[in-house]
Structures are given as C-alpha cells and as structure tokens.
C-alpha cells in the first residue's frame, strides 16, 4: 500500500540559492478561545532542479525524502507566473519631465 504524499500550494519568496527556492504557504487558523481567524505563514525549502521558478510565482510542492539538512519538498508545477509589467520611458518618470 502506497502512502499519499503531502502537497501544498504557495508563493515563491526567494530564489537566491542554486536549485533551491523558498516557498511560503499561508494557512488560516482559528484561535481556540476567541474563535478569531488569523493567518500563519510557513516557509519550506523546495528543490527546483531546473531553476524554473521566480519570486512571486504560485507553485505546487510535494513532500519527498530528505534532500539536504532542511530541504524536504520538491517542486511539482508552476501554477501561475508573476506578471512583469513593461513600461515605456515616458510612463516611468512623468513628473521629472514636467519639472523641467
């Protein structure tokens, strides 16, 4: 009988290491006494073999065997990419040209 592996969906926070990304997964929890819902973020170090993901991407990760001291998750897929907005030079600094 094969056990199912845990999967999580989160956002890439950092990509400063080779073949590793830090993914933040947000969880909503309820306070046991006051019943107020609050957010908690857990950070996971994720193995990214091809260095595909970039900060801001929404990704799906899966639990795996230990790959290093802290790395226990691997990248399954990139769900959405962070949009990069292209701006023209005129749109970038309009107030500087008005001052001249």
CATH number at residue 50: 2.40.50.140
Quick one: pLDDT at residue 97? 54
**Does some domain include residue 1?**
no
Quick one: pLDDT at residue 82? 86
Average pLDDT for residues 32-53, to the nearest whole number? 95
**Cα angle: 13, vertex 17, 22; to 5 degrees:** 25
Report the alpha-carbon distance of residue 40 to residue 17 in Å, rounded: 24
Average pLDDT for residues 70-78, to the nearest whole number? 96
Average pLDDT for residues 75-91, to the nearest whole number? 82
Domain residues for the domain of 56 are 7-99
Measured between its terminal Cα atoms, the distance across the chain in Å is 74
pTM across the whole model = 0.77
């Amino acid at each position: 009988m094969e056990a199912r592996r845990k999967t999580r969906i989160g956002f890439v926070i950092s990509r400063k290491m080779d073949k590793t990304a830090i993914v933040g997964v947000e969880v909503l929890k309820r306070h046991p006494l006051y019943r107020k819902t609050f957010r908690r973020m857990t950070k996971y170090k994720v193995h990214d073999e091809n260095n595909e993901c970039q900060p801001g991407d929404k990704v799906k990760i899966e639990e795996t065997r230990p790959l290093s001291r802290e790395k226990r998750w691997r990248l399954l897929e990139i769900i959405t990419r962070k949009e990069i907005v292209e701006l023209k030079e005129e749109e970038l600094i309009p107030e500087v040209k008005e001052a001249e």
